[in-house]
Amino acid sequence: MITFPRTLTAVLLLASFGFAAPPLTTIQDVLYKADGTRFNGQVNISWSSFEASDQSAIATQVTTVKVVDGNLRVRLVPNSTSDPLVYYSVTYNSDGRVQFSENWAVPASTQPLRIRDVRVAAASGSNETTGGAPIPESDVVGLIADLGARPMKGTGFAAGRVAMVNPMGALDAVLGNPGDCVRVDGSSGACGSPAMSFMDGDIPSGIVDGANTSFSLAATPNPASSLSVYRNGLLLSSGVDYTSSSRTIQFAPSAAPQPGDLLLATYRLAGASGVTPQPYRSPQVLCSGSGASTGGTNFNSLGTCPIPANTLTAGDRVEIHFDLEHQGVSSGFTFEVRWGGSTILHRDGTANDAQVSGRAEAGLYQGGAKVSTQSWGTTLAFSGTVASASDDYTGGLAIDFEGKMAASGDTLTLRNFSVVRLP
């Protein structure tokens, strides 16, 4: 048997007391929200340094306790009789923010205590249970970042005005009259959209020499897709024959306007454009109907469209449509379309052509017209032509449909025709 001197035993006993942990009290409870659901989050408990009842030195510190499905359990050194008297500062956090705070005074107890047993009542007249201690902004999760992201008042901020976000991200007031409308860019002005207008018969400026491909318009089309460009009365294809940007028309090299060609453009305008827009005018049917028949071998008029003086102007386009019917199978025939004194279409049909159709379009300019034609028949091959007519249309002219048979026996009839003026 081993024995120790009494002095050594006393030293070991004192050492064991010196290293003993301070007493702890268990706080255990179930937390609920006001809507009856259980609290989930965390509880932050902080304290200043104090001396426990067993003279243990408790250093200033913070501890965090997770609360899952309302269950809170934590063990703390009793502080209700601490020297100096200090409270545990308890902050409840949930959903990313501080919900509330309170102070605890924990007595010594061998049995678990509930929160109501340790909570320090708030001072009279106070609506908080924080013990008078303010909550730092840094303790509120996301608060500082949210405050930094909010828009600030700008130098132009004014009460009683519509607010706008200026280029610096601050709030300014929109200036203007009480009856003005506010636009999406923060500017103000009279309510209502500017009236839409049209530009018709605009002759693009540029050298027409077969080499130049860049031409300019008098104004900017708005919208850009409203632009239509005509060359000698024929509508050109955007993206194929030309491209446009603002007031510039850029022709493809293969579609470069040749000497003598006439270019016309029509497009819409919106608001002030720096030019006086021409009002859009509707198409006008100058003539339409059915015609006569002929069986003679000399040219006879099958139908006429007389156009009065001062009806046509430079920039107009005139479309001509017609259909002829051949009765019989023993003779061929010839038909023509005459623009004043100029023959703009001449074709010979065969005995097997029971029907022929034709189209012509004249683009007017000062001193004449550029004319394009198309014609085809039952067996008559499709043909397209381009011609010029120098007839003075300002004094009036007649569009005449002529026809004759190659031999007697058959008949040629103008079944229908129409002449339309496009401003």
Rg (CA), the chain: 49
Q: Residue 115 corresponds to which tokens in the numbers above?
A: 């929160």
CA distances for 343 relative to 388, 398, 399, angstroms? 10, 12, 10
| CATH number given to 284-422 | 2.60.120.200
Q: What is the pLDDT of residue 168?
A: 79
Task: Say how many C-beta atoms besides its own lie within 10 A of residue 396's C-beta.
Answer: 14
The CATH architecture that domain 21-139 belongs to is: Sandwich (2.60)
Q: Where in the chain is the domain with CATH 2.60.120.200?
A: 284-422
Of 349, 372, 356, which is closest to residue 417 (Cα–Cα)? 356
The burial class, CB within 10 Å (0-12 / 13-18 / 19+), for 349 is buried
Q: Residue 127 corresponds to which tokens in the numbers above?
A: 């609506």
Q: Cα(97)–Cα(87) distance, rounded to whole angstroms?
A: 23
- For 116, what's the count of Cα atoms within 13 Å in the CB-facing half-sphere? 2
| Predicted model pTM | 0.38
Of 360, 358, 349, which is closest to residue 326 (Cα–Cα)? 349
Q: Where in the chain is the domain with CATH 2.60.40?
A: 21-139
Q: What is the pLDDT of residue 130?
A: 42
Q: What is the pLDDT of residue 178?
A: 80
Mean pLDDT by 10 residues, the chain (423 residues): 51 50 92 91 92 88 93 93 87 86 92 92 51 61 76 81 83 83 80 69 89 92 90 88 94 91 86 48 80 95 91 89 95 96 95 96 93 95 93 92 95 95 80
Q: What is the pLDDT of residue 194?
A: 56
The structure tokens 């023959």 sit at: 343
φ, ψ for residue 137, nearest 5 deg: -60, -35
Of 191, 195, 363, which is closest to residue 271 (Cα–Cα)? 195
Whether 176 contacts 236, CB under 8 Å: no
Task: Say how many C-beta atoms besides its own lie within 10 A of residue 333's C-beta.
Answer: 26
Three-state secondary structure along the chain?
A: CCCCCHHHHHHHHHHHHHCCCCCCEEEEEECECCCCCECCEEEEEEECCEECCCCCEECCEEEEEEEECCEEEEEECCCCCCECCCCEEEEEEECCEEEEEEEECCCCCCCCECHHHHECCCCCCCCCCCCCCCCCHHHCCCHHHHHHHCCCECCCCCCCCCEEECCCCCEEECCCCCCCEECCCCCEECCCCCCEEEEEEECCECCCCCCCCEEECCCCCCCHHHCEEEECCEECCECCCEEEECCEEEECHHHCCCCCCCEEEEEEEECCCCCCCECCCCCEEEEEECCCEECCCCCEEEEEEEECCCCCCCCCEEEEEEEEEEECCCCCEEEEEEECCEEEEEEEECCCCCEEEEEEEEEEECCEEEEEEEEEECCCCCEEEEEEECCCHHHCEEEEEEEEECCCCCEEEEEEEEEEEEC
The structure tokens 């623009």 sit at: 339
CA distances for 183 relative to 24, 112, 175, 176, 412, angstroms? 68, 67, 12, 11, 66
Whether 362 contacts 339, CB under 8 Å: yes
Q: What is the pLDDT of residue 164?
A: 84
φ, ψ for residue 118, nearest 5 deg: -120, -10
Which amino acid appears at position 42 of this protein? Q
Q: Residue 135 corresponds to which tokens in the numbers above?
A: 């909550």
* For residue 423, cis peptide bond before it (omega within 30 degrees of 0): no
Whether 356 contacts 416, CB under 8 Å: no
